[in-house]
Amino acid sequence: MPVDKTMGNRVYAGTVNLTGRVEVQATTGYEDNTLARIIHLVEEAQEEKTQAQQLIDRFGDRYSPAVLAASIALMVIPPLFGGDNSEWFRRGVTLAVAGAPCALVMSTPVAVAAAIGSAGKRGVLIKGGVHLESLGPVQVVCFDKTGTLTTGAPKITDVVPGDGFEPDEVLATAAGAEASSEHPLGRAIVADAESKGLVLDPATDFEALIGAGVRATSEGTTILVGKPLILADEGINLASLDHEITRLEAQGKTVVAVAVDRTLAGLIALADQPRPEASASVASLSRIGISRVVMLTGDNQTTGAAGGNRLGLDQVFAGLSPDDKIGQVRQLEANYGPVAMVGDGINDAPALAAATVGIAMGAAGTDAAIEAANVALLGDDLTVLPATVSLGQKVRRISLQNIAFSILLLAVLVPAAVAGAITVAVAVTVHEVAEIIAVANGLRARRVDPGPS
């Protein structure tokens, strides 16, 4: 929704001036502006995540050399103390075969590839297996508001007529005056009137009251459309609809008052509408075991809370800057566990990078958001989100099953190889069968449907 700025207010890099002329003073250098700080925050968050991944990689790199070293030691050391060369050589070779984690190595990539392919068919781009697996333990899902949970465009929600006026009359009058306006609220009023087939009386002497409304004349009648406060300053009595203004603003809506020849004709309320699938998607996330679904928004508390209540969110954090969103993501992660962040704007990019899993709205999202995220919903369809999280949960379960299966197998084969209880042929056969079982288990990930067509 548009934000009014007056003398002395701060504006941010990337701000779009909708109407009129504005002069701004640069108070910092380019290296300190909002865009530069966002880029720096994204880089920091991504670097932290990479270090954790490198720790896991280093652990895996040490296992295979350890098995190989143990195998060589088994072949060399016992014969030095009088052991049978051929027997200990056979045991060393058997240990090298038996200790290889083939089931684990084969099964996890198969499960991940199957799941990523299945998700891709439904318009979900997952940027790697580590991100898919990271979806599994997610406990909190954070949503940006505008453009993510909502459509990002204001629409009329209520038309409240004053005494002696009809709703369509109020809407047509306002649309006629706003026909020449470039303001998003004015365009929304005109579009709604035209969609209802209302006849718009051509207005003359159009005057845009920057940040306040418009004034126009139609067949000798003066029409004023704008903020209730502006109409009150013009001496127009709003007392008859004061309670309606309070009610609508408490719902997080923007209220526009309409006056005809200094008489209050009615009110028009506008709001950024929730995506049709948003409420059902939030409910589905709760059903699949997500402990908290929250909103992180830069809007004021009233607007944010109203949107959160409509969608059934557990909590709303409002008035947040990009820095604040990162802090809130990290606080939620400390309190509840892994966090997924869903957003679409450049101001969401740092939080997307800082979250355990960042999920961008692929079509509507900015390049910065998509670049920072680990997952992109290419169709901007939130209905695929719960099933994508379920997909991560299933892949994680499959991975844990295969890890447990592989460890159990090694716990049996390694001592047996050292003791000389099995031959190389037996070790190879057991590994081949185990690989088939693990791969078959991994392919079950294809049967998780990441959302409706």
* CA 228-231-236 angle, 5° bins: 120
> Looking at residue 451, what is its pLDDT?
46
Domain assignment present for residue 304? The answer is yes
Are both 241 and 285 inside the same structural domain?
no
Closest C-alpha to 214, from 179, 177, 187: 177
Domain assignment present for residue 9? The answer is no
3-state secondary structure of 226: strand
Provide the token pair at 300. Answer: 């004021």
- Set 32, 61, 144, 381: catalytic member: 144
Domain containing residue 356: CATH number: 3.40.50.1000
Task: Identify the domain boundary among 344, 366, 388.
Answer: 388
Are both 76 and 183 inside the same structural domain?
no
What pTM did the predictor assign?
A: 0.70
Provide the token pair at 369. Answer: 């958001």
Provide the token pair at 108. Answer: 């996890």
Are both 363 and 419 inside the same structural domain?
no
Helix (H), strand (E) at residue 51: helix 34-80
C-beta of residue 278 within 8 angstroms of C-beta of residue 386: no
> Looking at residue 49, what is its pLDDT?
44
d(CA 338, CA 139): 6
Are both 427 and 357 inside the same structural domain?
no
Domain containing residue 181: CATH number: 3.40.1110.10
84 is catalytic: no
3-state secondary structure of 270: strand
Are both 241 and 132 inside the same structural domain?
no
Phi, psi of 417 (to 5 degrees): -65, -45
**Checking DSSP bridges between strand 263-274 and strand 254-260, what pairing results, if any?**
antiparallel
d(CA 188, CA 154): 6
Task: Identify the domain boundary among 273, 295, 314.
Answer: 273
Domain assignment present for residue 225? The answer is yes
Are both 57 and 143 inside the same structural domain?
no
**How far is CA 69 from its chain centroid?**
46
Gyration radius of the chain's alpha carbons: 31
Long-range contacts of 9-12 (CB under 8 A, 24+ apart): none
* CA 433-437-438 angle, 5° bins: 115
Are both 279 and 267 inside the same structural domain?
no
Task: Identify the domain boundary among 211, 241, 273.
Answer: 273
Instruction: Count up the domains in the chain and report the number.
Output: 3
Please, how many CA atoms are within 13 Å of residue 156, restricted to the half-sphere of its CB?
A: 25
Are both 137 and 85 inside the same structural domain?
no
3-state secondary structure of 76: helix
Closest C-alpha to 422, from 100, 91, 102: 91
3-state secondary structure of 6: coil
Domain assignment present for residue 29? The answer is no
Domain assignment present for residue 27? The answer is no
Phi, psi of 265 (to 5 degrees): -90, -30
- Name residues whose C-beta falls within 8 Å of residue 237's C-beta, 6 or more positions apart in sequence: 264
Are both 280 and 268 inside the same structural domain?
no
Q: Which amino acid is at 29?
A: G
Domain assignment present for residue 67? The answer is yes
E strand map for 90-248:
124-126, 140-143, 150-161, 204-209, 213-218, 221-226
Task: State the residue for tokens 């078959």.
Answer: 440
Domain assignment present for residue 11? The answer is no
> Looking at residue 17, what is its pLDDT?
80
Are both 142 and 163 inside the same structural domain?
no
Identify the segments of the chain with pLDDT beneath 50: 45, 48-53, 55-56, 450-453
d(CA 348, CA 147): 11
Domain assignment present for residue 8? The answer is no
Are both 268 and 281 inside the same structural domain?
no
The range of the structural domain enclosing residue 260 comes to 153-273
Are both 269 and 279 inside the same structural domain?
no
